Amino acid sequence: MATTGIQRRLTGVVENFIGLWNRYYTQYLEGIAPEDITGDKENELLKFQGTMVEQLVPVLEIDEHQRFDIHDKVMSVINEVISLDLYTKMSEFQIKRVKNNWQDAMDELEKFYRFCDTYDPKIDKVRKITEVKKKNPFWDPTSGGMRGALARLTVSPVTFFQGLKSGVLPEGMGRFVFLTFYIPTVIIMAIVFLVNFEKAKAIGNNILIEAGFLTEGEAGLFPGLMIAATVFVGLLLIALTITIVFLILHYVIQFFLHIGFKLTGGKEDFTETQKAVTYGAAPFITAVTTPYAAILQIIGAAKVHRYPYFLAILGWIIGIALFTVAAFGVTASVFHFTGNLPSGEYLYVTSDTTLYTTLQREEAHSVKESEWFTEYEKKKGSITVGSGRDRREIDAYKVTYNDKDYYVDRDDVDEREFTLPKIPAYIIGRGVVALRKAQDFLNGVVEEYSN
């Protein structure tokens, strides 16, 4: 319910027009019969429509930012019902279409009423937007391409998000979000390639040799240009692959943030959240993930969903928390079904180590950090392992590996218990190890190929 004077004034204007719009339906679109149509009735309709058009003007003046499609939806009904006689002679389908258009306009008016009911002039920079629109009545904060959008977001993010038209996605928004992730990725990959210039050059040369474009030992300007072009294309393709991963995560996070905003009172649909999250991601263009991205997304959510900043902050936190829980849940499920989650008590390998036999009948086995054993027992006292110069005494656990018994040094393992609250820490640990292994593997491939 409106509490301030300005809210009561704005809602009063919109409420007055909504009353006229309801009367228009009951008196003319629903309540008229062919036998009741007279010249006076026709004149009454024209006069009533004129009154509605007059009262529509102050409503449109309030909607300075053209967030709501009120004008077109109202006028589409008025322009179609030019006389009662023609209206009653329309087909059933045409009459149904007119009534549906009337309902669409009513829905838009009710959304606008709710906006006026919560309007806060302290945070709504209407004057600034009005001044800009006087100079350019077709002002669009996203005009001017990516450079223009970034400039406006940097100078005045509140004004930027308030100027976005409600209910539609801005033209070029897909290109904006793609470049937001692609440009910094290309920059980072270019730095990586320059740091490893000789290896990148060797790989490009080998690719061209295997493809039959160059021969072994061929040199000169043209082969050099071909190698440079190959390396450059490879850089762009790798950056594109990474960007696609970022975009997938971006759209998934949008979904969870929308849930958070709706749970905290957000009034609009997913389209508005898309705009807030997409343009809020603009700081990624600096090739650094900064907290400013979160700040912009919160400002955008507060503006497009038309509710307080505090609730937008709370909604953003809830959305990120839901995304985190979902990410851990999906990862844990994958680990579970691939047999990568232990159960109960287990031994966790804390550093690369060796599994021994006491009788030296078989070769010892190497195991990597983060591997684990669910079948084990602690041995009393020390045991002798290895042979020759590697022979030594260790305090050991007896473990089962590949259905055979081995011994592992107690200093290289931890005794742990697997419980549900420990899943996040376990997944993070496994993820770090997996990334390290992937990095080692790629480094090995690059080293081998460049040699």
3-state secondary structure 386-408: CCHHHCEEEEEEEEEECCEEEEE
Between 330 and 447, name the one with better pLDDT.
330
Q: Which amino acid is at 74?
A: V
The tokens of 266 are what?
Answer: 């957000």
Average pLDDT, the chain: 79
Where residue 397 falls (left for φ over 0; alpha for ψ -120 to 50; beta otherwise) is beta
Q: Please indicate, yes or no, if residue 325 is contained in any of the structural domains.
A: no
CA distance linking residue 185 with residue 175, whole number of Å = 15
**Residue 59 within any structural domain of the chain:** yes
Compute the average pLDDT of residues 242-253: 92
pLDDT digits over 347-375, tens only?
A: 888 888 878 776 555 567 777 777 777 77
Count of Cβ atoms closer than 10 Å to residue 310 Cβ: 11
pLDDT exceeds 90 at position 393: no
Query: Is residue 137 predicted with pLDDT exceeding 50?
Result: no
- Residue 337 falls within a domain, yes or no? no
Q: Tokens 């071909």 map to which residue? A: 226
Angle at 14 between CA 55 and CA 131, to 5 degrees: 80
Among 97, 117, 137, give the residue marking a domain's end. Answer: 117
Same domain, 203 and 270: yes
Mean pLDDT of 118-123: 60
pLDDT score of 2 more than 90: no
pLDDT for residue 139: 58
- Tokens, residue 210: 């295997």
Q: Looking at the domain assignment, is residue 49 inside a domain?
A: yes
The pLDDT of residue 407: 82
Q: Are 126 and 31 in contact (CB under 8 A)?
A: no
Would you call 150 helix, strand, or coil by DSSP?
A: helix
The whole-number average pLDDT for the span 215-239 is 81
Q: Give me the half-sphere count of Cα atoms (radius 13 Å) on the Cβ side of residue 39.
A: 0
At 54-99, the pLDDT tens digits run 888 888 888 776 778 888 888 888 888 888 888 888 888 888 888 8
The verdict on 357 and 423 lying in the same domain is yes
Within-domain flag for 57: yes
User: 363 or 112: whose pLDDT is higher?
Assistant: 112
Do 352 and 306 belong to one domain?
A: no
> Are 354 and 408 within one domain?
yes
Same domain for 281 and 179: yes
Write down the pLDDT at residue 1. Answer: 52
The count of domains in the chain is 3
The DSSP result for 157-214, as a single string, is: HHHHHHTSPTTSPPTTHHHHHHHHHHHHHHHHHHHHHHHTHHHHHHHHHHHHHHHTSS
Residue, of 112 and 418, whose pLDDT is higher = 112
Q: Token pair of 99, please?
A: 């009534």
Q: Higher-confidence residue: 136 or 112?
A: 112
pLDDT of the residue at 387 = 66
**What residues are paired with 378 via a beta bridge?**
397
Segments forming the whole domain that contains residue 184: 173-320
Answer yes or no: do 374 and 427 share one domain: yes
In a domain, 130, yes or no: no
The mean per-residue pLDDT over the stretch 17-37 comes to 83
Q: Which residue is listed with tokens 């709706």?
A: 262
358 HSE (CA, 13 A, CB side): 14
Terminal C-alpha separation, the chain:
74
Domain assignment present for 166: no
User: Distance between alpha carbon 91 and the CA centroid of its chain, in Å?
Assistant: 46
More confident residue, 271 or 451: 271
Can you give the pTM of this predicted structure? 0.58
Written as one string, the DSSP assignment of 403-440 is: TEEEEEEGGGEEEEEE-GGGHHHHHHHHHHHHHHHHHH
Residue 183 CB: number of other CB atoms within 10 A?
17
Exposure of 432 in the CB half-sphere (CA atoms within 13 A): 7
315 has a pLDDT exceeding 50: yes
**Last residue of some domain: 80, 100, 117?**
117
Query: What is the CA 36 to chain-centroid distance, rounded?
Result: 57
> Over pLDDT 90: what percentage of the chain?
9
Low-confidence winner among 186-195, 281-290, 333-342 (lowest mean pLDDT): 281-290
Asked if the structure places residue 123 within a domain, the reply is: no
394-425 pLDDT, tens digit per residue, is 788 888 877 777 888 888 888 787 777 777 77
- 318 has a pLDDT exceeding 90: yes
Contacts of residue 143, Cβ cutoff 8 Å, sequence gap at least 6: none
Which of 12-16, 213-217, 256-260, 347-351 reaches the highest mean pLDDT? Answer: 256-260
Indicate the helix (H) or strand (E) that contains 327: helix 309-337
Same domain? For 212 and 301 the reply is yes
326-353 residue pLDDT tens: 888 888 777 777 766 677 777 888 888 8
Is the confidence at residue 143, as pLDDT, over 50? Answer: yes
Residues 187 and 286 in one domain: yes
User: Which one of 320, 335, 360 terminates a domain?
Assistant: 320
Which of 112-116, 233-237, 370-374 shows the lowest mean pLDDT across its residues?
370-374
- 358 and 281 together in one domain: no
Tell whether 292 and 419 lie within a shared domain. no
Asked if residue 259 has pLDDT above 90, the reply is yes
Residues 301 and 355 in one domain: no
* % of residues, the chain, pLDDT over 70: 84
Q: Can you say whether the dihedral through the CA atoms of 82, 83, 84, 88 is positive or negative?
A: negative
| 273 shares a domain with 375 | no
pLDDT of residue 400: 80
Longest CA–CA span in the chain (Å) reads 118
Q: Decide if pLDDT at 180 tops 80.
A: yes
Give the model's pLDDT for residue 135.
47
CA 138, CA 136: separation in Å to the nearest integer? 5
